[in-house]
Structure 1
Amino acid sequence: MPSYRAILSIGDVHPGHGPEAVMGSAVAAVSSIATVEQTDIQVLSNVPQIVVRFHIDDDGDAHTVADAMHDAVAEVATTGPARLLLRRGGRWLPV
């Protein structure tokens, strides 16, 4: 089964939510559709990003997962650009 990474830039957390709600909402959304393999937080050019790695059957379903993750996180924090990557031959390629 293919492995994907959904990467989402994060801004300010909305009032009434803690920072932990960002990753929690992302994982809840992804795990309701796909198998979560790993999570991470990274900073790229001083912008925090969450990364959720997951398994699902095909690219179309992977886009559905990434959209669900974005929508869930947008309820607790401002979001920026999202990216979806596919693991192929030891490399992560844009979907």
Structure 2
Amino acid sequence: MPSFQTRLKITGLRPGNPPEAVMAAGVEALETRHHVESNQLNIAAGVPQLNLRFLVEATEYSGENSQARLSASMMRDAVERVAVTGSLQVLRRNRGRWAPI
């Protein structure tokens, strides 16, 4: 199964939401479609970044990438309910390296 990763910048919390709601929203959204392998919050250039790694059912290369992009978009929509987000990257694991799709 192909492995993908999202990197979503978090620029603020929406009123009334605790910080842990950000990760919970992202993981819950991805788990509706895929197995989430790992999740973590990193700081990149002083900005929190939500990193979620997930598996996509193996089909054909472009279809797998399309599924990953759609799922990442759905995840971002879910996170937007509790936080203000910035840029979103979707990467695919290829020969031991992460490459943007």
TM over 0.5: yes
Q: CA deviation at 1:29?
A: 0.2
In structure 1, what is the equivalent of residue 32 of structure 2?
Answer: 32
The normalised TM-score by structure 2 is: 0.92
Which amino acid is the alignment partner of residue 97 of structure 2? Answer: R
In structure 1, what is the equivalent of residue 50 of structure 2?
Answer: 50
Indicate which of 78, 84, 95 corresponds to 1:89. 95
Q: Which runs of 4+ in 1 moved over 4 A?
A: none
Which amino acid is the alignment partner of residue 77 of structure 1? Answer: A
In structure 1, what is the equivalent of residue 73 of structure 2?
Answer: 67
* 1:12 equivalent in alignment to 2:18: no
Sequence identity of aligned pairs in percent?
A: 39
Q: CA deviation at 1:17?
A: 0.7
Distance 2:81 2:11 in 1: 12
Q: CA deviation at 1:16?
A: 1.1
> What's the secondary structure of 1:29's corresponding residue?
helix
How many residues align? The count is: 95
Which amino acid is the alignment partner of residue 65 of structure 1? Answer: S
Which amino acid is the alignment partner of residue 60 of structure 1? Answer: S
Superposition RMSD in Å: 0.6
Q: CA deviation at 1:41?
A: 0.8
Q: Which structure 2 residue ranges, 5 or more long, are not aligned?
A: 58-63
Deviations 1:2-27 (A, max 9, x none): 00001100011111110000000000
Distance 2:38 2:12 in 1: 23
> What's the secondary structure of 1:30's corresponding residue?
helix
